[in-house]
Chains A and B, each alone.
Chain A
Amino acid sequence: MAWQDFKKKFKRQMSDMLEIPSEIIMDLPKVVLVGDLQVFIENHRGIVEYSAESVRVNVGDYEVAVYGEDLLLRNILPDEICLEGRIKSIQFVR
Chain B
Amino acid sequence: MFLFRLLSFIFGYVNILIRGESLEKFLNMAASRGIFLWDIKRIGQNEILVKTRLSAVKPLRHIGRNSKTRFNFKGREGLPFMIHRIRKRKSVIFGAMFFLFGLYVLSSFIWFIDIKGNHDLSREDILRITGEAGLKVGSVKFRVDQDRVEKLIRERMPEVSYVGVDINGTRATIEIAEKIIIKKKESQPSNVVARKAGLIKEVLVLVGDPAVKEGDTVVPGQLLISGVIPPPETLNQDPPGISGGETARRAPAYPPTCVRARGVVRARVWYEGYGEVPLQEEGSRETGSLFSRVRIKIGDKEIILSGAQNIPFNNYRIESSIKRPPVWRNLSIPVEFISEEYHEVEKYRIQRSRSEALELARKKSLELARSNTKNIEGEYHVLDEKTTEVSPKNPENIVRVRAYIETLEDIGLEKPLK
Contacts and interface: CB of A to CB of B under 8 A. Distances in A.
A68 B32 CA distance: 26
B75 interface: no
A52 B39 CA distance: 12
Contact of A47 (B24, B34, B36, B38): B24
Contact of A72 (B23, B30, B41): B41
B317 interface: no
Interface in A25-80: 46-52, 71-78
B31 A78 contact: yes
A47 B27 contact: yes
B36 A77 contact: yes
Given A46-B32, A50-B48, A74 B38 contact: yes
Contacts of B36: 75-77
Contact of A50 (B23, B30, B38, B39): B23
B28 A47 contact: yes
Contacts of B42: 50-52, 71
A74 B39 CA distance: 5
A74 B50 CA distance: 10
B308 interface: no
A46 B31 contact: yes
Interface residues of B, number: 16
Interface-central residue, B27, B28, B39, by most chain A CB under 10 Å: B28
Contacts of A78: 31-32, 34
A50 B37 contact: no
Contacts of B28: 46-47
A72 B43 CA distance: 10
B204 interface: no
Contacts of B157: none
Interface-central residue, B31, B32, B39, by most chain A CB under 10 Å: B31
A50 B34 contact: no
B383 interface: no
Contacts of B23: 50
Nearest to B35: A76
A72 B51 CA distance: 12
Interface of B: 23-24, 27-28, 30-32, 34, 36-42, 48
29 contacts: A46-B24, A46-B27, A46-B28, A46-B32, A47-B24, A47-B28, A47-B31, A48-B24, A50-B23, A50-B24, A50-B42, A51-B42, A52-B42, A73-B27, A73-B37, A73-B39, A73-B40, A73-B41, A75-B36, A75-B39, A76-B27, A76-B30, A76-B31, A76-B37, A76-B38, A76-B40, A77-B31, A77-B36, A78-B32
Given A72-B41, A75-B36, 9 more contacts: A47-B28, A49-B24, A50-B27, A50-B42, A73-B37, A76-B36, A76-B37, A77-B36, A78-B34
